[in-house]
Amino acid sequence: MKAKDLRERSPEDLKELDKSLAKDTFTARFKNFTNRLDDTSTINKTKRDLARVKTLLRQAELLVAGAPAAPAKAAAAPKAPKAKKTAAKKASKSEAK
């Protein structure tokens, strides 16, 4: 499934799809464990589809709550410069060898 197609669906449809994909993922993993699954790539495909659906549901939840969809990152404090080794430290390390 493509995310573009999923965005056109209603939240209720996405919730139903979430449940069915979770069930499909479980059954595929169970079949793989019992050596009845022919195509093991279906496990990863359903897991990715499930993640897409959960992401869209979370985005919709945040939009309803009034929070921004992608919060801006806080500016990081500038890093302090590293202290240079003094000649005494260099000498003591060379003597220890």
- Number of folded domains that form the chain: 1
For residue 59, the enclosing domain spans 3-65
Q: What is the CATH number of the domain that holds 55?
A: 1.10.287.310
Distance of CA 40 to the CA centre of its chain: 21
Query: Does residue 14 sit within a domain?
Result: yes
Predicted confidence at residue 76, as pLDDT, reads 62
**Residue 88 banded pLDDT, cuts 50, 70, 90:** low
Predicted confidence at residue 5, as pLDDT, reads 94
Q: Which residues contact 54 (CB under 8 A, 6 or more apart)?
A: 18
Predicted confidence at residue 33, as pLDDT, reads 95
Which pair of structure tokens corresponds to residue 62? 């945040």
Query: Does residue 86 sit within a domain?
Result: no
Using H for helix, E for strand and C for coil, what is the string for the chain? CCHHHHHCCCHHHHHHHHHHHHHHHHHHHHHHHCCCCCCCHHHHHHHHHHHHHHHHHHHHHHHHHCCCCCCCCCCCCCCCCCCCCCHHHHHHHHHHC
CA–CA distance, 7 with 69 (Å, rounded to integer): 14
pLDDT higher at 65 or 91: 65
Q: What is the pTM of this model?
A: 0.65
Query: Does residue 59 sit within a domain?
Result: yes
Summarised one tens digit per residue, pLDDT across range 28-85 is 999 999 999 999 999 999 999 999 999 999 999 999 888 665 655 655 666 766 666 6
Length of the chain: 97
